[in-house]
Amino acid sequence: MGWAAFSKFQEDFVGTSMSSGTIHLYEFGPYRLDVQRHVLLRADRIVPLAPKTFDLLLLLVQSEGRALSKHALMTALWPDTFVEEGNLSFQIATLRKALNGEARWIETIPKHGYRFSADVRTITRSSAAEQEAGPASKSAIEIGNPVSASGISATPSSGPVSKRSLRLWIGGGVVLILTAVLALWLAMRTREQPAQTMRESQLTAYEGFETESAFSPDGNQVVFVWDRDGANSDMYVRLIGAGQPVPLTNTPEREFSPAWSPDGRWIAFLRGELLNASLFVMPAIDGTERKIAESGPAGVIGGTVRWSPDGKWLLVSGTTEKDERIGLLLIDFNTGEKRRLTTPPAPMSDRGGSFSPDGRQVGFLRRYSQSPQGNTYLLNVDASVRAIGEAKRLETGGLQMGPPVWTSDGKELVFHSSRAGRGGLWRVSVAGGTPVRIVGAGNDARSPRAPD
């Protein structure tokens, strides 16, 4: 099994596959939501929306009238990051303002979340082209592009070639030449800096919201969090390629961030709120869960859980005393002892830490407390997992990033990034440099995970 696993909200929760390329447009009232162009239109005029606000609207529109919990929306909009509920409230208010008099479409479900109540019509790109293209437009498509971008098959027209047709043919030739030059340039560039390719395969497609997956060390099983009804999240495990998911927990509280121990015997997880949680471990096969540490007057824990390669420590985010800045904490697997690993400068916080395969470095995300994005830092540690020197920022060309994940050889980090509304997975050398987009992961790829 490969080193990356990611959750896709549209496919797993809403039930719409953006990779299939079928549904591109949604219409409701006087609005048209163009997924491919990433714009909202009203009477053919663009309604300005920030990328995060557009993503929120898309999630609501695709929900088909179902109520979405705040947790589900926050996890989808800010994967692997920690944001206050106020961030979601701000985006909801911004979206309602953009929709002007139709703000009533976004209904608030008390103590739960939101529902989009407008009647939504889905149309394909090809049907939209057929609706909008008149005879002249169709003729231009047929002459200039035998197979158009909208997917319409066309046959070149016969008879005398008009000046317009000639221009189109010349233009098409120029495009072909430029395309060939671009392909040659990309091929030469690829020899210098090869792109990482991936083959995407779907592991789960159940009713509800599946997220926060993690592979077992042998790659034969996956543990994940499943919110079946939008109200509660529990953990499940299943064999890769066969079998039904087996529930590991069944409580009214929220479980999140499962992580397999390096020997495959244990699964660690958090229960509670993002930064007010308790840390548990339970046998991977059968047995009783055990609480290792919890939030309280002596500090809080939360975030994501990662094991040290020797299985002695669990890495989380939190504090060891009240009112401290949130940094990376080490928690002893046997005793529950908490030890601070990083102390970020004010007003920063450290989240999403993970060990390198040899256990001698920790990669993590350092960001401003109210920002969902940040920068990757690397910290050298000794054999007893104590810091050597100060953490250093990894130069990544200024990309906004999610928490990093190490490749199995320890030479690169993989992260999720979203720029100008376009998401995806990227890889970068631990020595720094220009990140390379991972081909094949898709724009919706996020929350990468390697075998624990």
Q: What is the pLDDT of residues 428-443, one digit of tens each?
A: 899 888 888 876 555 5
- The top-scoring range by mean pLDDT among 77-86, 169-178, 253-262 is 253-262
Question: Does the structure show a pLDDT above 70 at 32?
Answer: yes
Question: Facing residues of 338 across strands?
Answer: 331
Question: Does the structure show a pLDDT above 80 at 153?
Answer: no
Res 391: pLDDT:
96
CATH of the domain at 383: 2.120.10.30
Query: Are 393 and 357 in contact, with CB atoms under 8 Å apart?
Result: no
Distance CA 383, CA 355 (A): 12
Token pair 């479980």 is found at: 255
- Considering the domain architecture, whether residues 195 and 213 belong to the same structural domain is answered as no
Q: Provide the H-helix boundaries in 135-162.
A: 135-144
351-403 pLDDT per residue, tens = 999 999 999 999 999 987 666 567 899 999 999 999 999 999 987 766 556 78
- Considering the domain architecture, whether residues 316 and 430 belong to the same structural domain is answered as yes
Token pair 């994501």 is found at: 304
Task: Report residue 253's pLDDT band, with 50, 70 and 90 as the boundaries.
Answer: confident
Query: Are 148 and 154 in contact, with CB atoms under 8 Å apart?
Result: yes
CB atoms within 10 A of CB 148: 17
Across the beta sheet with 387-393, the strand order is 348-355, 361-368, 375-381, 387-393
- Considering the domain architecture, whether residues 114 and 172 belong to the same structural domain is answered as no
- Considering the domain architecture, whether residues 284 and 258 belong to the same structural domain is answered as yes
| Collapsed DSSP state (helix, strand, coil) of residue 413 | strand
Using alpha carbons, select from 447, 438, 450, 405 the residue that is nearest to residue 12.
Answer: 447
Which of 122, 150, 181 is the endpoint of a domain? Answer: 122
CATH of the domain at 91: 1.10.10.10
Task: Report residue 449's pLDDT band, with 50, 70 and 90 as the boundaries.
Answer: low
Phi, psi of 93 (to 5 degrees): -65, -40
Distance CA 179, CA 186 (A): 10
Residue 92 lies in a domain: yes
Task: Report residue 130's pLDDT band, with 50, 70 and 90 as the boundaries.
Answer: very low
Residue 151, CA distances (Å) to 147, 165, 348 in order: 7, 21, 48
Give percent above pLDDT 70 in the chain.
66
- Considering the domain architecture, whether residues 36 and 81 belong to the same structural domain is answered as yes
Res 163: pLDDT:
38
More confident residue, 189 or 419: 419
What distance, in Å, lies between the first and last C-alpha atoms of the chain? Answer: 12
Q: Which residues contact 62 (CB under 8 A, 6 or more apart)?
A: 10, 14, 16, 26
Mean pLDDT of 118-143: 51
- Considering the domain architecture, whether residues 102 and 223 belong to the same structural domain is answered as no
Question: Does the structure show a pLDDT above 50 at 122?
Answer: yes
Residue 446 lies in a domain: no
Distance CA 285, CA 273 (A): 26
More confident residue, 414 or 157: 414
Query: Are 376 and 54 in contact, with CB atoms under 8 Å apart?
Result: no
- Mean residue pLDDT across the chain: 74
Question: Does the structure show a pLDDT above 50 at 57?
Answer: yes
Which of 122, 147, 177 is the endpoint of a domain? Answer: 122
Query: Are 367 and 345 in contact, with CB atoms under 8 Å apart?
Result: no
Report the alpha-carbon angle 200-73-370, nearest 5. 105
Res 330: pLDDT:
97
Q: Which residues contact 364 (CB under 8 A, 6 or more apart)?
A: 328, 342, 350, 351, 352, 353, 354, 376, 377, 379, 391, 403, 404
Question: Does the structure show a pLDDT above 90 at 187?
Answer: no
Count the domains in the chain. Answer: 3
- Considering the domain architecture, whether residues 183 and 104 belong to the same structural domain is answered as no
Residue 4 lies in a domain: no
- Considering the domain architecture, whether residues 215 and 184 belong to the same structural domain is answered as no
Mean pLDDT of 71-96: 79
3-state secondary structure 219-273: CCEEEEEEECCCCCCEEEEEECCCCCCEECCCCCCCEEEEEECCCCCEEEEEEEE
- Considering the domain architecture, whether residues 192 and 250 belong to the same structural domain is answered as no
Report the alpha-carbon angle 215-217-220, nearest 5. 60
- Considering the domain architecture, whether residues 223 and 181 belong to the same structural domain is answered as no
Residue 277 lies in a domain: yes
Q: Report the C-alpha dihedral over residues 87, 254, 211, 109, rounded to 10 degrees.
A: -50
- The top-scoring range by mean pLDDT among 54-68, 277-291, 325-339, 399-413 is 325-339
Res 438: pLDDT:
78
Res 443: pLDDT:
56
Res 369: pLDDT:
66
Mean pLDDT of 294-307: 90
- Considering the domain architecture, whether residues 101 and 236 belong to the same structural domain is answered as no
Which helix (DSSP H) or strand (DSSP E) does residue 410 occupy?
Answer: none
Which of 72, 98, 122 is the endpoint of a domain? Answer: 122
| Collapsed DSSP state (helix, strand, coil) of residue 440 | coil
Using alpha carbons, select from 416, 404, 383, 417 the residue that is nearest to residue 450.
Answer: 404
Query: Are 114 and 73 in contact, with CB atoms under 8 Å apart?
Result: yes
Residue 73 lies in a domain: yes
Question: Facing residues of 367 across strands?
Answer: 349
Task: Report residue 35's pLDDT band, with 50, 70 and 90 as the boundaries.
Answer: confident
Whole domain around residue 56: which residue ranges? Answer: 20-122
Least confident of 80-89, 178-187, 378-387, 414-423: 178-187
Residue 138 lies in a domain: no
Residue 380 lies in a domain: yes
Q: How many residues are there in the chain? A: 452
Res 282: pLDDT:
93
Q: Report the C-alpha dihedral over residues 314, 282, 276, 223, rounded to 10 degrees.
A: 90
Residue 15 lies in a domain: no
Question: Does the structure show a pLDDT above 50 at 195?
Answer: no
Give percent above pLDDT 90 in the chain.
25
- Considering the domain architecture, whether residues 286 and 314 belong to the same structural domain is answered as yes
